[in-house]
Amino acid sequence: MNGTGAHVEAPPLTLEQFRKSLRGELVLDTDAEELYRLAKQIWNGDWEIDNRPKMIVHARGVADVRSTISYAQQHGMELAVRCGGHSLKGLSTNVGGIVLDLGKHMKSVRVDLAKKEVWFEGGCLVKDVDAETAPFGFATVLGAVGNAGTGGLVSGGGYGYFSRAYGLSVDNVLEMDVVLADGSFVRASENENPDLFWACRGGQSNFGIITSFRMRLFECPKEIFGGLVLYDMEDAVKVLTAFDAFASDPQCPREASTHVYSICLSPEQKLLAVQVCYLGDPKKGMQAYERLLSSAVPVDVQSKITTYQEYQVFSDEVYRIKGIPSYWRSRNVKAGTRLPVDDLVSIINSSPSEGILVIEHFGGRICEVDPSATAYRHRDSNYVFTFTGFGFQNANARKEVKNWMNNAVELLEEYLSGGSYLNYDNGPAQASFGDNLPRLRELKLKYDPMNFFRCNINILPAV
Ligand SMILES: Cc1cc2nc3c(=O)[nH]c(=O)nc-3n(C[C@H](O)[C@H](O)[C@H](O)COP(=O)(O)OP(=O)(O)OC[C@H]3O[C@@H](n4cnc5c(N)ncnc54)[C@H](O)[C@@H]3O)c2cc1C
Q: What angle do CA 113, 198, 440 make, to 5 degrees?
A: 155
Would you say how long the chain is, in residues?
463
Do 183 and 198 lie in a common domain? yes
Ligand 1 centroid to 284 CA: how many Å?
A: 33
Distance, in Å, from the CA atom of 378 to the CA atom of 366, rounded to the nearest integer, reads 9
Task: For residue range 363-382, list pLDDT tens digits in order.
Answer: 999 999 999 999 999 999 99
Shared domain check, 264 and 410: yes
Work out the average pLDDT over 7-25: 90
- Is 287 found in the same domain as 324? yes
Give the model's confidence band at 3: pLDDT under 50 very low, under 70 low, under 90 confident, else very high: low
82 lines ligand 1 (CB under 6 A): yes
Over pLDDT 70: what percentage of the chain?
A: 98
Ligand 1 centroid to 30 CA: how many Å? Answer: 28
Q: Hey, whose CA ends up nearest to atom 9 of ligand 1?
A: 143
pLDDT score of 125 more than 70: yes
Contact 229, 276 (CB under 8 A): yes
Whether 216 and 335 map to the same domain: the answer is: no
Residue 245 clears pLDDT 80, i.e. is over it: yes
pLDDT of residue 8: 61
Residues 188 and 263 in one domain: no
Q: Which residues contact 429 (CB under 8 A, 6 or more apart)?
A: 437, 440, 457, 458, 459, 460
Mean pLDDT of 261-289: 93
446 C-alpha to ligand 1 centroid (Å): 25
204 plus 331 within the same structural domain: no
pLDDT surpassing 70 at residue 394: yes
What range defines the domain where residue 200 resides? Answer: 109-220
pLDDT surpasses 70 at 422? yes
Q: Residue 202: which CATH number?
A: 3.30.465.10
**Is ligand 1 within 6 A of the CB of residue 85?**
yes
Q: Which of the listed residues 58, 84, 101 is the one where a domain comes to its end?
A: 101
Domain of 347, CATH number, reads: 3.40.462.20
Query: What confidence score (pLDDT) does residue 373 get?
Result: 97
266 and 387 share a domain?
Answer: yes
Taking only the tens place, the pLDDT of each residue in 301-347 is 999 999 887 887 676 776 778 899 999 999 999 999 999 999 999 99
Question: Is the residue at 445 inside a domain?
Answer: no
- Give the list of residues 6+ apart from residue 201 with CB closer than 8 angstroms, or none: 155, 170, 171, 173, 374, 375, 376
Average pLDDT, rounded, for the chain = 95
**388 C-alpha vs ligand 1 centroid, how far in Å?**
16
3-class SS string, 365-429 = HHHHCCCCCCCCCCCCCCEEEEEEEECCCCHHHHHHHHHHHHHHHHHHHHHECCCCCHHHHCCCH
Domain holding 94: CATH number? 3.30.43.10
Question: Which pLDDT score, from 0 to 100, does residue 144 have?
Answer: 87
Select from 68, 82, 200, 421 the residue to mutate for testing ligand 1; criterion: most ligand atoms less than 8 Å from CB. Answer: 82
pLDDT at residue 1 greater than cutoff 60: no
User: Does residue 186 carry a pLDDT above 80?
Assistant: yes
Q: What is the pLDDT of residues 44-98, one digit of tens each?
A: 999 999 999 999 999 999 999 999 999 999 999 999 999 999 999 999 999 999 9
Q: What sections of 250-394 are H helices per DSSP?
A: 282-293, 308-312, 316-319, 341-349, 365-368
Whether ligand 1 lies within 6 angstroms of the CB of 159 is answered as: yes
pLDDT for residue 2 is more than 60: no
Residue 282 lies in a domain: yes
- The verdict on the CB of residue 148 being under 6 Å from ligand 1 is yes
What was the pLDDT predicted at 173?
98
pLDDT beyond 70 at 431 = yes
Counted domains in the chain: 3
